[in-house]
């Protein structure tokens, strides 16, 4: 709103409505109510825009963390696979040693 409109609004709020028609008084009351609601909506909208910007930053941060965790998970999967292979090799060697020892005892 321009400064002129705000000044007129204040003047209308301070104006005595006794001398005007009831319909006009009712219309002015509704107009003031609508203006107040618009101001509240504007404040709420600005607050929501700020919250949205904050949330966007948080989401970006969480996505970056998620990507990092996915890389770590992939690394752990590879290490797990290598450990599995190593365990199989150890198990195979132990089985061969037991078999060789049994054959030797016969």
* 76: phi then psi, degrees, rounded to nearest 5: -65, -35
Q: What percentage of the chain has pLDDT greater than the value 70? A: 82
Q: What share of the chain is helix, strand, coil (3-state, %, to 5)?
A: 90, 0, 10
Q: Measured between alpha carbons, how far is 39 from 43 in angstroms, rounded to an integer? A: 6
Query: Which pLDDT score, from 0 to 100, does residue 65 have?
Result: 96
Residue 1 confidence class, pLDDT cut points 50, 70, 90 = very low
Give the pLDDT band of residue 21 (cuts 50, 70, 90).
confident
pLDDT at 97: 96
Q: Give the chain's length.
A: 106
How is the chain split into domains, by residue range? 3-105
Over residues 83-99, the pLDDT tens digits come to 999 999 999 999 999 99
Pairwise pLDDT comparison (5 vs 44), residue with the higher score: 44
Tell me what pLDDT residue 37 has: 93
Q: What is the pLDDT of residues 27-69, one digit of tens each?
A: 899 999 999 999 999 999 998 998 898 999 999 999 999 999 9
Tokens of 41: 């909506």
């Amino acid at each position: 709103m321009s400064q002129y409109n705000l000044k007129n609004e204040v003047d209308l709020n301070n104006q005595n409505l006794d001398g005007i028609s009831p319909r006009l008084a009712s219309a002015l009351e509704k107009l003031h109510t609508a203006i107040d609601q618009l101001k509240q909506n504007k404040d709420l909208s600005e607050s929501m825009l700020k919250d949205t910007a904050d949330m966007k930053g948080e989401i970006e941060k969480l996505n970056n963390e998620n990507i990092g965790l996915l890389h770590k998970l992939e690394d752990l999967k590879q290490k797990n696979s290598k450990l599995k292979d190593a365990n199989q090799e150890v198990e195979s060697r132990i089985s061969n040693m037991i078999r060789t020892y049994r054959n030797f005892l016969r």
